[in-house]
Structure 1
C-alpha cells in the first residue's frame, strides 16, 4: 500500500476545517486567528505566496473576510473618508502576523522580509504543529509529572530567540530580537531585524521594526497557579538574555524590576553605552540636558545578584577621535563600577579586547562570601 502524502493529508484536514466558513453568515467571524489563516493559505499552495495572494485565499475561504473586503472596496470607490474600524483592525492584525517571530514563516531566497513583494512559505511539520487542528480539549495532572519533565516544558514555553529580549524605558512591550542568521528552520526571515554589533546602528534596526510581544503576554502563563509561578518564573529569567540600550533604559528598567526577577537574570547586555558619562551633582536621579546622572546607571547592575554573562557595546570607543583615550579607562566612573562586580563567567566588549581583558580580571573573580552568611 502506498504511503499517504503528509501534505495531502494536512490539506484535506484544512479543507474540512474551513469548509463551513466559506458560505457562513458574513457577520460571523471564523474561530481562527489571522496567523492560523495565513499558515493555512501557505500550506494549501504549491508555491510561495505574497501577502496579497495569502489575503486572496483567505477571502475565498471565509465569507466574513470576503464581506469586509467588499465593504472596504465600496467605501474606497465611493469617496468615503476612510475604511471602517473593522476593516482597519483586520488589516493591522494581518500585517502584524508577518512581524511575529512565533509564526513559522519562511521567506523565499532573494526576497526581503515584510515587503509587498516578499514570498512566504511554511514547513509542513512547523505548520501542522502551529495549526493544532486536532487538539483535544481537556486537563491532566501536570504537577504529577517528574520535576525534570516539568522544567523541560517550562523551557519550551519560555525560551525566546537566542538574541533575547530588549527592554525599553518607554514601552511595556519588550522587543523580541531575531535569531542568528543561520537559523531559518521554523522562524521568520532573520534579516527582518538584524542585530548589528556596530553600536552606532543600534538606534534603528537595519530593515524593519523589531517584533514585539507585550510583557503581560510573556508573563501570563505564570498566572496558571501559585506552583506554576514558583517553578516557572526563575526559568523564564534564567534562560533568556535581556538587553538595555544605553543609560536611560538601564536605569529605568532595571531600577523598577522586582527583586524576584532581578535575582534570576543570568545574561544581560547594554548597547550605546558612553564610557565618558559624567555624574551630575544633586539629588535628581534623572538625566539632565547634558546626559549626566546623579547616580551612575551601571550601579543598577548590582541588583542582578546572580549575573553570569555581561556584554557591553561601547558608544564612544577608546582611542578613537571623540571617544575615551585608553589611558583614561581606569578613571572612568563606569569602568570603576564594573570592576567592583564579581562572580561572572563571561564579560564581552565587542571591538575593544583591551577593555574586555581589563574587566575580566576583576569581574570574573569569585564572589567574596561573608563568614556569617547563612548563619
Structure 2
C-alpha cells in the first residue's frame, strides 16, 4: 500500500480538527457528560471511522479495507479494558465529574502521540527482521492466557491504584498542589509555579494507555503490516474511547466474559502471526532457513472470527449477568418469606382467616336476651 506523504498529513490534520471540535464544543463549558451526550459522540466517532474505511475500500480495495476494519474493531475492543483502569485512576485522584472529559481528552492525545512513535518503531522492526513475528505471536499467546484467567471488572473494583514511574517522575519534576484549582493544569501560589492534580492524572491516564499498547500494537500488526492502517485504526479507537467511558459506566461491569473473549482474539492473532512467520521463515535453525509449508489465515477469515467472538462474548455476558440478577432477587434479604405449609394464598399473599359461624352463635343469642 503506497501512501503519499500528503495523505498522511491530511489524515493527521483531519484528526486534529476532530479533536479541536470536540474540545471546543464539549469542553467550552465544563460539565458532567450525560449518557445521551456521550451516546451521540460515540455514534459520531464510529461514523467517522466507518467513513474512513469506506474511503479505503473505494481507493485501495477490499483487502486493505478489511484489514483496517479488523484492526479498528480489535483495537476498540482491546481498549475497553482501559476503561476499568481509567475508573480506578479517576477514583484514586478524586477527579471532579465536570473535569473528567478534559482529563481523558488530553491524556489520550498524549497516548496517541506516543503510540505513533511506537507504531513507527514496530513497522521499522518488522521490515528489517521478519523473525519479529515469532516474538509478537508468542507474546500475544502468553498475554491471551494471562488475560483469559483474569476478571477485568472485579480486579479493577478491588485494586488500589499505584502510581507508575512516569507519574512519580512528574511529581519530582513539578511541585504539586493538594487541591484542584478549577480546570487548571498549572497555577501560581505566592509567585511560585505549581502543577495541579489535573496534570498528574493526565500523565497517569496517558502512561497507563501506553502500557496497554504493548499488546494491542503487536495484535494489529498481526492483521495488517501497513503502518498507515495501524495508525488510523489506533487513532479512531482512542478518539471514541473517551465518550465510551461516559456511555458505558457501570454497564461495562456486566461484560463478565470480556477477558475470555479478548483472550481468544489475542490467541487467534498470535497463532496467525506464528503461521505467517513460519510461512516466510528465514531463521537457519528452523527448517534449515527455508520456508515452512503451513496454512496462513487471510483477512477474509480474521474479520468474521473477530466479530463473531465479540458478539458471542457480549451475548453470553449479558445472559449470565441477567440470570445472576434474577437469582439474587429471588434469594436476597428482601425476598418474601414462604407461606407456612398448608396456608392458602391469593396472589402471593396469605389469605384472610375464614369466618366461623358456629363460634358467633352464642354471642348472637346473648344479644337477643338483652333486648328482651
Q: TM-score, normalised by structure 1?
A: 0.22
State TM-score, norm by structure 2. 0.22
Higher RCO (C-alpha under 8 Å, 6+ residues apart): 2
